[in-house]
Amino acid sequence: MSSPKTALVISAHAADFVWRCGGAIALHAEKGYEVTVACLSFGERGESARLWKEGKALQEVKDIRRAEAEAAAEVLGVKRLECFDLGDYPLELSRDDKFRLVDLIREVQPAFMMSHSKWDPYNTDHMYTTQVALEARMVAQAWGHNPGQKVLGAPQLYLFEPHQTEQMEWKPDTFLDITPVWDKKRAAMEHMNGQVHLWDYYTRVAQQRANHFKRNSGGQSGGRDCKYAEGFQSIFPRTVDEL
């Protein structure tokens, strides 16, 4: 019996994976993929304004964000949620922290990986996370790092959609129809009570990407119908036998 395919999402903050690739997670989970999500921080300092305004203490904020992430992950079908709890604003990883991520990558052996855009002047935690993801992917491929461990192959790194695409030099080259799992993504988003203002925003984003999916799947004369989609930018060339 062959092992199930796997995927790894590297998320700067506890909610990022929900907004930006929750549909991809749910869709692939339904296809039998074991999806691991690595949350480098809970977004407790920079992405929990409502909780701070309510007078919550730091540990309370972290506990709430962890619980939200766990609930959302369960809805999406995440196999494993790994919370690094490294702090945010700014997010910083030591060499040992990076090696911890390398160990996770080698353990998961993902068929593909996902993380943030390479450029994000509004939230440097995001682009720093992708820099770290690329470094960790590189080290995980190195035979000289922890000899004896199974080295990583060459999984694609997909960059999910940033909040203001026109400012981030992000250009999608892949659109994924998430209509069959949209209810799961919306339900997962509604677990993120620290950022209620984003629920409808990311619903509109998914509808916009659905239009792009239809246009690029055959145009008005024969495009496949799609109500909700997510867009991704691939980092590495893709090798295919059929377009």
> What are the pLDDT digits (tens) for 125-178?
999 999 999 999 999 999 999 999 999 999 999 999 999 999 999 999 999 999
> What are the pLDDT digits (tens) for 33-64?
999 999 999 999 999 999 999 999 999 999 99
> What are the pLDDT digits (tens) for 186-200?
999 999 988 888 999
| Total residues found in the chain within this entry | 243
Give residue 151's pLDDT: 98
pTM, to two decimals: 0.95
Question: If you write DSSP's letter for every residue of 52-76 in order, what string do you get?
Answer: HHTT--HHHHHHHHHHHHHHHHHHH
Q: Which domains can be identified in the chain, with CATH numbers?
A: 6-234 (3.40.50.10320)
Q: How would residue 109 be classed by pLDDT, with cut points 50, 70 and 90? A: very high
Give the residue with greater pLDDT, 155 vs 220: 155
Residue 91: strand, helix, or coil: coil
Structure tokens at 238: 């893709």
Give residue 239's pLDDT: 80
Beta bridge partners of 234: 158
